[in-house]
Structure formats: C-alpha cells, structure tokens
C-alpha cells in the first residue's frame, strides 16, 4: 500500500518530490524516486509485503523498465511460479512480479492480475498507467502543455489545466485514449434456475476464498468491526485463520455499533479495541476528514467520520484491516431497493451502484485508511464473488416482504455467528456510530434557507442537495487546491430518485 506519482515533462525530480510530500500519509515507511526516459516515477511506501526488499520504484534486470504500484496482487505467487524460469527475481514482493509479467506480456498482463491496484510502468514504450477492475485503489491523471502528471490523490497535483480519474478497469499508454481491460460483471448473465442450497454454498465458498486471499501479509491483519452483518461475517471467517485477531470499532457514547461490536468480539474471541469520540472531536476533525476524503458528498462525509476514527484506532495496532464494503451492493442491502418495481430496473440499479463504488464507499475506505497509514482490504469485492452474485437470478436477491434484506448472505453464513448478529437489521454506518445528525446540526447553525438557495448551484457539479452538503462544500473548497474541479467529486445515489425511476420504468430491457 502506498502513494504513487509520475511526472512526464519539465519539473522532473523536484516536482515529483513535492507531489510525494503531499502523499506522505499514504506511505510513512519510505520514499523513492527514479527517472526512466522522460518520466520520473515516485513512491511513498507502507511496507506490508517483503518488508526488507520491496522498496519502489522497482527496476528490471536491464534497467530500462521501472514500476510504482499501490495495492496488493493476491495471485502473485502463482504468477511468480510461471515467471521464474525466464527471470531472476531479487525480491519476494508482488511488485516485481508485475514488472516481469509486463516484460513478457505487455499490457495484456493487466487481465491476469487478481487484486487491487493502481500502477504506473515506465519503459521503452513510454508510460503505462492502470487501475483495478473495481476501482478499489485510486489513480488520477492531469495535464498542462508539455507535461503529464499521475497521482494517487487529487491533493498531490501541482496547478494543471485538467485532471481526470482513471476509471476502474481502465489503462492508458502515454497520452493516448483510455481503454478498458477488464469488466467487473459478466457480459452475459446466467438466468437459469439455481438451486438455493447450491447458491448458498457457492457464496460461502467464494467469500471464504476472498477472505483467505486478503490475509496475505508480512504484518498483522485486523478487522474493522461495526457489529453489523457484513463486518461480523468477515471477522468470523478471519478468526480461525489468525493467531490473534484484533478488531476495531468507533462511535459516540451509547451508539448501537459499540454494543453490537462488543457482542461479536466476545463471541469470536478477538482482541477488541474501540474509540469513543465526542461531538467536539467531530467538529475539530471535520476539515481533516474532508481534506483526506476529497469529497463534499453529504452521505459520504457522514459515513467517513466514523471511518476516520475507526481507522485511527486500528492504525495504532495493525497496518492492514479487512472491511465489509460491497455487501449491500451485491446482495441488495439498501432499503430503497425494496421499493423498486421490475427486475430489470433493480438489476440496472445494482450494477450502477456497484460501479459507482469507486467514487463513493471505496473512496471513503481508501482515503480514511490512508489518512492513518492503514491499508483497508474489501473481500466482498473479490471479482470471483462479484461476478457470481451478478449471475444469480434476480429473484433470489430481490428484497421482498417476509424476507430480510441480504437474506442470501445471512443464510450462506448461518452457523458462523449467533442469530442476534446474523439477523441484526441494517443501519447506515453513521447511524450505527451515533454521529449521523451532527453535520446537519452544524449546517443548521451556519446556513439558513435563503443562503442555501443562493449557493446550492456549484459550477462544474450537480446542484448541492442540502444545507449540510453546502456546509461540507465550503470546507472542501477551503482545504482542496483551487484547480481541483467539483466535477471530480463522485455523488452517492439519491434513494428517492432511484426508487422513483424504478417504479416508473417497470421491467427494463
């Protein structure tokens, strides 16, 4: 895990070093720079795999190819076995595997990577950049005449004429157009009837595999535990595979998540840690939360507040933690989805909210973890599980009366946890942590209705949706570089609009 930058054009090493300085939080364990042709690659390291030998930028045996990489490649040992006959490895790291795989297969190697990644490779053909199929790790590209810049976060860029996100599953070579090298969803979904017991067993098997892969580390791995279904299932699957599992939660005094997480931790026998924060601490932390999150989207900021504190306490004990992002998108966990009419509309909505995770919940998980030098891994978004869930007949997933949301996941994991945890109703992250109303309260004291109407239209972005969002936008504008456009901020789905569209649309083609 780390922060990466690349500079092609004037400015060179001093500019790259300045950009890296703004990403220090992403990699407190070291810094490296290397020139390859007309490109400077830069790297801030959080050491997780091959602590002694995994420094970056990493160079091949001929010195003409170099890589910087943010993320983890879970199948790197398998790939290494294929490559060892043709290459002399100097390290145990997954980074070097990517370097030699690129030597052999060029850009085609991207399709073979199983993991989360943002990568930049400089060599004889120029600069290749790419981002994993789910968009778990961030990557941006910026330009001004004669120069191209790459960085993990928006705040790292110098003044430029334009910045764009590299979309999930896309790559670019030099200044050419982006192309998509991987789809998170199968182009043809199997609609054949599936026996429910078969589906439950396959979901459990794939989730167990996803968790096991994400325990790959040379440092201890913990779990972010809210006490809800998703994080508790992850913790339950981790527990027998770890010697001493550390779990973490955060919330305000009396928050539902605190008691629920304690119950799950007691049952599983984890070494549990919690952080109880106050309203004053939220108020003081909010500008830093928004600066690190790089967003003013109100629901995202609300959920980022407890994530910020839970990552803070986790980083005091571990460098890696697993989290439950993605389960609601795969198994229809949101309440508004039950109001959608027609399986076509629901299918489209599930695909859409899963694809938008790169700009919403995954951005929150990455940025809040990296704010504290913590790598957050997300087993529910393992490609094998994602693709299987989206091939299931929608009737098996669709919320309906008499069946709890995410019933497939609950039943697939029956026996792992007490029914009191498996049957716990869903709460939004900020609700469970007890801090969901603080932003609205702060906005109410600062922004009246007339001010909101006058300021809700922001150039380059869809209109702000509430006084609370305007409050966050004002902070965002203060803490972000002035050249960063609001159009780069992802927006969470409006549940009322989504449910209304589904109700009106009926079955979609």
Residues with a known catalytic role: 2
Q: Give the span between the Cα atoms of 373 and 20, in whole angstroms.
A: 14
Q: Give the span between the Cα atoms of 477 and 456, in whole angstroms.
A: 14
Helix (H, G, I), strand (E, B) or coil at 72: strand
Residue count (the chain) = 509
Tokens describing residue 348: 């489209």
- Crossing angle of helices 438-446 and 298-315, rounded to 10°: 130
Pairing of strands 147-151, 66-73: unpaired
- Listed as own residue / partner, the contacts of 30-39 with beta carbons closer than 8 Å and 24 or more positions apart are 30/55, 32/56, 32/57, 33/57, 34/59, 34/66, 36/64, 36/65, 36/66, 36/122, 36/123, 37/122, 37/123, 37/124, 37/126, 38/8, 38/9, 39/6, 39/7, 39/8, 39/122, 39/126, 39/127
Backbone angles phi, psi at 62, to 5 degrees: -95, -10
User: Are the C-beta atoms of 46 and 186 separated by less than 8 Å?
Assistant: no
User: Are the C-beta atoms of 132 and 169 separated by less than 8 Å?
Assistant: yes
Q: Give the span between the Cα atoms of 307 and 224, in whole angstroms.
A: 9
HSE, side-chain direction, 13 A CA sphere, residue 331: 26
CA neighbor of 427 nearest in space, from 401, 402, 396, 405: 405
State how far the alpha carbon of 224 is from the alpha carbons of 228, 238, 376, 385, in Å.
Answer: 11, 12, 9, 20
Number of CB atoms found within 10 A of residue 496's CB? 10
- Contacts of residue 340, Cβ cutoff 8 Å, sequence gap at least 6: 346, 349, 498, 499, 502, 503
Q: Give the span between the Cα atoms of 337 and 300, in whole angstroms.
A: 19
């Amino acid at each position: 895990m780390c922060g990466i930058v690349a500079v092609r054009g004037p400015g060179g090493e001093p500019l790259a070093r300045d950009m890296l300085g703004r990403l220090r939080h992403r990699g407190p364990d070291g810094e490296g720079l290397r020139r390859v042709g007309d490109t400077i690659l830069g790297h801030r390291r959080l050491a997780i795999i091959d602590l002694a030998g995994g420094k970056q930028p990493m160079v091949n045996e001929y010195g003409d190819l170099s890589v910087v990489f943010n993320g983890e490649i879970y199948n790197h040992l398998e790939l290494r076995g294929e490559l060892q006959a043709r290459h002399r490895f100097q390290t145990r790291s997954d980074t070097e595997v990517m370097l030699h795989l690129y030597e052999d297969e060029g850009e085609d190697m991207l399709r073979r990577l199983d993991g989360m990644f943002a990568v930049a490779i400089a060599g004889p053909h120029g600069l290749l950049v790419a981002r994993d199929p789910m968009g778990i790790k961030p990557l941006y590209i910026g330009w001004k005449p004669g120069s191209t810049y790459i960085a993990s976060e928006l705040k790292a860029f110098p003044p430029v004429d334009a910045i764009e996100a590299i979309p999930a599953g896309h790559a670019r070579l030099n200044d050419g157009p982006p192309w998509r090298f991987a789809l998170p969803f199968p182009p043809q979904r199997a609609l054949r009837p599936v026996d429910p017991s078969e589906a439950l067993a396959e979901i459990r098997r794939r989730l167990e595999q996803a968790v096991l892969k994400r325990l790959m580390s040379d440092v201890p791995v913990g779990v972010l535990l809210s006490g809800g279904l998703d994080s508790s299932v992850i913790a339950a699957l981790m527990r027998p595979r770890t010697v001493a599992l550390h779990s973490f939660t955060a919330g305000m005094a009396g928050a539902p998540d605190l008691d629920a997480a304690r119950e799950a931790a007691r049952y599983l026998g984890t070494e549990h840690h919690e952080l109880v924060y106050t309203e004053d601490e939220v108020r003081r932390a909010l500008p830093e939360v928004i600066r690190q999150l790089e967003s003013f989207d109100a629901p995202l900021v609300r959920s980022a507040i407890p994530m910020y504190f839970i990552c803070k306490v986790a980083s005091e004990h571990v460098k890696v933690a697993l989290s439950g992002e993605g389960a609601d998108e795969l198994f229809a966990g949101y309440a508004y989805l039950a109001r959608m009419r027609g399986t076509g509309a629901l299918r489209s909505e599930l695909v859409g909210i899963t694809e938008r995770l790169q700009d919403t919940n995954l951005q929150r998980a990455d940025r809040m973890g990296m704010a504290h030098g913590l790598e957050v891994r997300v087993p529910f978004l393992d490609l094998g599980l994602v693709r299987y869930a989206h091939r299931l007949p929608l009737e098996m997933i669709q919320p309906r009366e008499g069946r709890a949301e995410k019933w497939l996941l609950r039943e697939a994991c029956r026996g792992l946890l007490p029914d009191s945890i498996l049957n716990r109703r869903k709460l939004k992250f900020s609700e469970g942590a007890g801090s969901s109303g603080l932003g609205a309260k702060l906005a109410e004291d600062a922004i009246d209705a007339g001010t909101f109407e006058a300021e809700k239209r922001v150039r380059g972005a869809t209109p702000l949706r509430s006084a609370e969002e305007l409050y966050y936008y004002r902070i965002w504008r203060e803490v972000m570089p002035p050249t960063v456009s609001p159009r780069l901020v992802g927006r969470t789905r409006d549940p009322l609009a989504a449910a209304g569209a589904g109700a009106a649309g009926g079955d979609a083609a």
